[in-house]
Structure 1
Amino acid sequence: MKIIKTKDYEMMSKKAAFIVASQIGLKKDSILGLATGGTPVGMYQELIRFYQEGMIDFENVTTFNLDEYYGLSGDDEQSYRYYMEENFFKDINLKPENIHIPDGMADDVSAECDRYNQLLEAEGGIDLQVLGIGRNGHIGFNEPDTEFKVGTHFVKLDDETIEANARFFDNPEDVPQTAISMGIKNIMQAKKVVLLANGLEKADAIKKTIEGSISPQVPASVLQLHPDVTFVLDEQAASKLDS
């Protein structure tokens, strides 16, 4: 486990973007696992800048997103497919056929989960998985539970997660209650993992993740078992760590 503490959100974003860019530099056809939410936006902006300056090339890169709200089409402004297009994909040369995001409108959600797991397996797994973390310690939409969910699965979102995501919606009642998410096994099979966290509201979750017991009640704590995980934290998110 490696912990990188940065001064602020800007520096956290730059450091994370450098880690991703280095992965692509080492392996042109890297398979990246990508996250959404407020935290990685700055990282995506930095990666776009790297691309525009000719420092990296996404032509042969393949991406898999962690999750998608169930019941939202890719054209919905609140869907994670739309988020990725607006915040990243439209400004780089990633091939559309190399972009993979769960289908939030799938009629058979179980079959969609199986399809996504099979795609991941067919590609040989993820080289570098980017993660954020929820205030309750979730990664992807793997919510606190009595057991770790293994593969891509259908999930009912916790009230705390719904409340946290309400800031992105005009009306709180519009926030989806369910989602499709990669499971803990999918994430742990990634060769490398980088988790980003900023802000004081993430400090408790970070402390439990890094220094607490491994428990499905704090899903991110399972990363203690990963052989190559890097935490990139701003000062506030790291403020409750003992060291």
Structure 2
Amino acid sequence: MEVIIRPNIDHAVDLVVKLIVSRIKEKPDTTLGLATGRTMERVYARLIASGVSFAQCQTFNLDEYIGLRHADPNSYRSYMKAHLFDHVEINLANTHVPDGSAADLKKAARDYESLIADAGGIDLQLLGIGYAGHIGFNEPLSSFKSRTRDKALTPTTRAQNAEMFGGDADNVPKRALTMGVGTILDASELVLLATGAAKAAIVAKAVEGPITSMVSASAIQMHPNCKVVTDEAAATELQGREYYDFVFENEPEWKGFRCAEN
């Protein structure tokens, strides 16, 4: 794992965008795993501005609320169309979001796993982290071998997402269909983006704390090609800051990214 701490949210988002763009340019038919959330809106806005073509890409979103049809304005399919898909060169047939309105959720979950396998797996999985320590909607006690499945959401998660539902956590669906931790760990590369002081404690637990199913994001410690990008505010509780900065300043892989910031 590499932890990269940038001066502010703009620098953190820019680095993640440059990384995604570089992967698409290296491999135009890249299969991307996508996430949602306020910080991701900045990522998608800058991907749109970059002009990069997604024409040959496939995408798989991490999750979807159960009970919401794709056309629902609060669905993650609607989110992705509004913030990315409607503004870039992409074949919508190659964009995938779990079907939270399926009559048979277990079949929908199996089908989603099959679609990922048929695509050859996910090349780069973009992740956020929730206050409950979840990646995707893998709430506490999610198995690290879990696959796409339906999952009950914690009160913490529903409160975190209430803004999108009129500010009332009671309006947030109680369950979601989500990629499993095992599904996420199968991706060739993970990029977790976390910003803001409110994420500092959970970022420290995920990156430097024990590997535990109580914090599903801690599973990223086991991935051989994982990058965690934060701003200063989200990094305040990390203990290994000096080493993380040293790696970023000296690893050849990051030379082009460092030069682009200067």
TM-score (norm 1): 0.96
- Take 1:173 and 1:149, find their aligned partners in 2: how far apart are those partners? 30
Query: Partner of 1:223 in structure 2?
Result: 220
Shift of residue 111, structure 1, vs aligned partner = 0.5
* 1:156 aligned to which of 140, 152, 158: 152
Residue 50 of structure 2 corresponds to residue 50 of structure 1: yes
Q: Which moved more, 1:152-161 or 1:170-179?
A: 170-179
- Take 1:166 and 1:148, find their aligned partners in 2: how far apart are those partners? 27
Partner amino acid, structure 2, of 1:227: P
Cα distance, 1:78–1:149 mapped onto 2, change above 3 Å = farther
Structure 2 contact 135–217 (Cα < 8 Å) conserved: yes
* 1:184 aligned to which of 160, 181, 186: 181
- Take 2:201 and 2:85, find their aligned partners in 1: how far apart are those partners? 32
Query: Partner of 1:116 in structure 2?
Result: 112
Q: Deviations over 1:170-216 (max 9, x none)?
A: 13321110000000111101000000000111111110011101000
Query: Partner of 1:65 in structure 2?
Result: 61
Structure 2 contact 143–181 (Cα < 8 Å) conserved: no
Residue 199 of structure 2 corresponds to residue 205 of structure 1: no
Unaligned runs of 5+ in 1: none
Structure 1 contact 207–240 (Cα < 8 Å) conserved: yes
Query: Partner of 2:260 in structure 1?
Result: none
Cα distance, 1:134–1:188 mapped onto 2, change above 3 Å = same
Shift of residue 50, structure 1, vs aligned partner = 0.7
- Take 1:134 and 1:11, find their aligned partners in 2: how far apart are those partners? 21
- Take 1:162 and 1:216, find their aligned partners in 2: how far apart are those partners? 19
- Take 1:219 and 1:169, find their aligned partners in 2: how far apart are those partners? 25
Query: Partner of 1:80 in structure 2?
Result: 76
- Take 2:230 and 2:87, find their aligned partners in 1: how far apart are those partners? 26
Shift of residue 149, structure 1, vs aligned partner = 5.0
Query: Partner of 1:105 in structure 2?
Result: 101
Shift of residue 146, structure 1, vs aligned partner = 6.1
Which structure has more helix as a fraction of its residues?
2
- Tell me the SS of whatever aligns to 2:39: coil
- Tell me the SS of whatever aligns to 1:167: helix
- Take 1:149 and 1:169, find their aligned partners in 2: how far apart are those partners? 31
- Take 2:220 and 2:177, find their aligned partners in 1: how far apart are those partners? 21
- Take 2:30 and 2:149, find their aligned partners in 1: how far apart are those partners? 24
- Tell me the SS of whatever aligns to 2:44: helix
- Tell me the SS of whatever aligns to 2:234: coil
RMSD: 1.0
Partner amino acid, structure 1, of 2:172: V
Shift of residue 57, structure 1, vs aligned partner = 1.3
Structure 1 contact 162–175 (Cα < 8 Å) conserved: yes
Instruction: Give the number of aligned pairs.
Output: 239
Structure 1 contact 34–64 (Cα < 8 Å) conserved: yes
- Take 1:61 and 1:137, find their aligned partners in 2: how far apart are those partners? 29
Structure 2 contact 142–181 (Cα < 8 Å) conserved: no
Shift of residue 83, structure 1, vs aligned partner = 0.4
Structure 2 contact 206–215 (Cα < 8 Å) conserved: yes
Cα distance, 1:110–1:146 mapped onto 2, change above 3 Å = closer
